Structures are given as C-alpha cells and as structure tokens.
Amino acid sequence: MITLKDISEIIGGDLRGDGSVPIYGISGIQEAKEGEITFLMHAGYERFIDTCQASAIIVSSTYADRIKDRNIIVVKDPQLAYIKVAGLFDVNKKQEPGISPLASVSKDARVADDVSISPFVHIGREVRIEKGVCIYPFVYIGDSASIGEDTVIYPGVTIYARTEIGKRVIIHAGSVIGADGFGYVWDGERHCKIPQLGKVVIEDDVEIGANVTIDRASLDKTVIKRGTKIDNLVQIAHNVTIGENSIIVAQVGIAGSSKIGRNVILAGQVGVRDHVVIGDNVRAGGQTGITKDVKAGSSVSGTPHMPHKEWLKLQVQLKRLPELFERMKKIEEKLFSGEADD
C-alpha cells in the first residue's frame, strides 16, 4: 500500500492534508474515485474540483489556495509530477526475468541473467542482450544485433541483423527496424536493386511507436539519436539521421539521406524529401511538404513549405477566392456587355 505522504515525498511536493490516506490508483479529475489521486493542470478543469471524488489532487501553486478542505499536493509542475505518480501504478510493468523454453535463442547469443524473454521469440547468432531487457512474444532479433539495458520490445517487433539498440529504448508492437532501404537503379530494362549493406543505430531513451519502419542504410547507418520520440505509423528511410530529443508524429514520412536536427517537431503527415537538411529547433505543421533545406529555428507549414505566418495569410486569402471570383465574373460581364463605357 502507498500513502499520500509517500507520493508527496516521491514527487517532492508540499502535502496539505492527511498523509496517511491510502492511494490505490490514478485517474482523470472527472473519473477519479475515492482511493485514487488525480491532478489539475489546466484552468478548464477547475470546474470539476467540487464534484471530484478523488482522495487527493496534485495542483500547482496557482490553484492551491482556491481548494479548501481537500487533500492536495502542491508542486511546481503537475504534469511532471503526474508522470512520476503514474509510473507507480503502471499496469504494463516488465515481466519476470527468465527465458521461456518456447523461445529460440542461439547458443552464440550473449544474454544477461536478468533478461525476460517470452515464448516464440527468436534471437539470432552473436546477438548481445544486456541486463533488464524485456522482450515480449513473437519478436525476431537478427544476427549480431545488440539490445541495451532496460529496453522493452513489445510483441511482433522485427529487428534485422546488426541493428544497434541503446539503453531504455521502448519499441512498440509491429515495428520493423533495419529492413532494406528502398533503392533501385534503372538499367534500361528493369529496376536493379542497390544492396543495402549498412545498419540502424537507435540511441538511448528513444521511444518508437507501433508499426514504425526504420530502414537500414545502404552503406553507413541510419541513426535515431538520444531522447527522440517517434509516434505510430512513421516511415524513416535509409541513411536518415534524426537529432536528439526530436518529436516525430504519426504518419510522417522521411525520405532517404535527410538530416533532421535536434529538438525538431514534425507534426502529423509531414513529408520530407530526400537529401534535405532540417536545422535544430524547427517546427513543421501537420501535412507540411518539406522540399528543401530548412534553417534552424524556423516554423513552417504548407506544401511546398513556407514560413508558418505566410501560410496563415495564404489560408485567409484562399477563403476569399470564391468572393473574388464572383467579383471578377461581374466585371467581365460588364466589360463584354459594353456597360463599362457608361
């Protein structure tokens, strides 16, 4: 059992109320019940305080003095505090250590003692798996791949040979890491496949969503750098590099040999042309088509991409086109009817 006082100490908050209250779970402010803790991060949810059934609320100092006769924990950032508390009640905890007898593990593989390997996992020759790794059923790991400490690989993931996965990486179900890059040359009669001899490197603390595909490089390596988070259904082509702490949202497609900087955000369905360089701290709005290099610190939208403010002005002008068309039509009618001479 964990008490409100325990939680306050974990998140470094200022407890106001009964610290002995037991907490069994966490929930949203509208759904929370007695025995659960919730949080208030936005003014729009303040109206639910009076009807909230939670045993305690995590709040910032902005709201602390407005809440009377309730157990609260006051913190600087309720969202960061929520992350810590949610981890205490995470139902997706790692499995118990051990290798299932139904797993296929090469005798040449080097597997740490406290690794969890589920049934129907295949681990190839000379694979290295470090301590704390958790591998769910139906995962394929090819020859000479390496998996760093405390990485979690969910069901149905395919990791091709020689792929390097860092520490504390999370790879969600159905993703494919290290498939051949899409490269062909036309010889006049047919498409000749370019051998894809490189690899994929995933650095520490990366999260890869469900059904993501990251292709191996043709000669060198495709690299996803430390701290980057990739949403579901993203395609990353061969020889791409994505810098530290970037966010790649669902259905983004990044073509071959593009270089993405640090702290970049590519919103949903952004498309990036091959051999493009995107600088650090760039923000690209949803469905942006990036066709050439983007300077660091830019915010872009539209296809082909343009500065976000210009794109906003263009949207206003586009809405006026029907009105302008009607006005032009009336002017033309006057001109051709001779009325313009009157």
Dist. CA 64–CA 247, nearest whole Å: 33
Position 44 scores a pLDDT of 87
pLDDT of 272 higher than 60: yes
* Chain segment 164-180, per-residue pLDDT in tens: 999 999 999 999 999 99
**What pLDDT is stored for residue 206 in this prediction?**
98
| Angle, CA of 302, 303 and 309, to the nearest 5° | 25
What local confidence, expressed as pLDDT, does residue 197 receive? Answer: 95
- pLDDT at res. 209: 98
Instruction: Describe the crossing of helices 78-88 and 4-11 by its angle, rounded to 10 degrees.
Output: 120
Q: Is the pLDDT reported for residue 94 higher than 90? A: no
Q: Which backbone phi and psi does 279 adopt, to 5 degrees? A: -75, 175
Q: 295-306, pLDDT tens digit by residue?
A: 999 999 999 999
Structure confidence at residue 167 (pLDDT):
98
Q: Which two tokens stand for residue 33?
A: 């019940």
Q: What is the mean pLDDT of residues 128-146?
A: 97
pLDDT at 338: 63
| pLDDT band for position 20 (cuts 50, 70, 90) | very high
**For residue 265, what pLDDT is reported?**
98
What is the tens place of the pLDDT at every residue in 188-201? 999 999 999 999 99
- Of residues 220 and 65, more confidence is placed in 220
- How far is residue 5 from each of residues 11, 43, 59, 74, 76, measured CA to CA in Å? 10, 26, 15, 12, 17
Q: Can you say how many angstroms the Cα of residue 115 is from the centroid of all Cα atoms in its chain?
A: 25
Read off the pLDDT of each residue in 90-104 and give the average, rounded to a whole number.
Answer: 87
Q: How confident is the model at residue 339 (pLDDT cuts 50, 70, 90)?
A: low
Nearest residue to 288 via CA among 322, 296, 280, 298: 298
Average pLDDT of the segment spanning 140-159: 98
Give the residue, 93 or 37, on which the prediction is more confident: 37
Burial label, 50 (beta-carbon count in 10 A; 0-12, 13-18, 19+):
exposed
Each as own residue / partner, the long-range contacts of residues 232-238 (CB below 8 Å, 24 or more positions apart, any chain) are 232/172, 233/209, 234/209, 236/212, 237/181, 237/182, 237/274, 238/180, 238/181, 238/182, 238/183, 238/196, 238/198
Q: Comparing C-alpha atoms, which of 140, 130, 153 is closest to residue 105?
A: 140
pLDDT interval class at 93 (50, 70, 90): low
The mean pLDDT of 76-101, rounded to a whole number, is 88
pLDDT of residue 218: 93
The whole-number pLDDT of residue 334 equals 84
pLDDT more than 70, % of the chain: 98
**326 or 14, which is more confident:** 14
The pLDDT score that the predictor gives to residue 337 is 79
pTM of the model: 0.87
* Active-site annotation, residues: 238
Residue 216 has pLDDT above 70, yes or no: yes
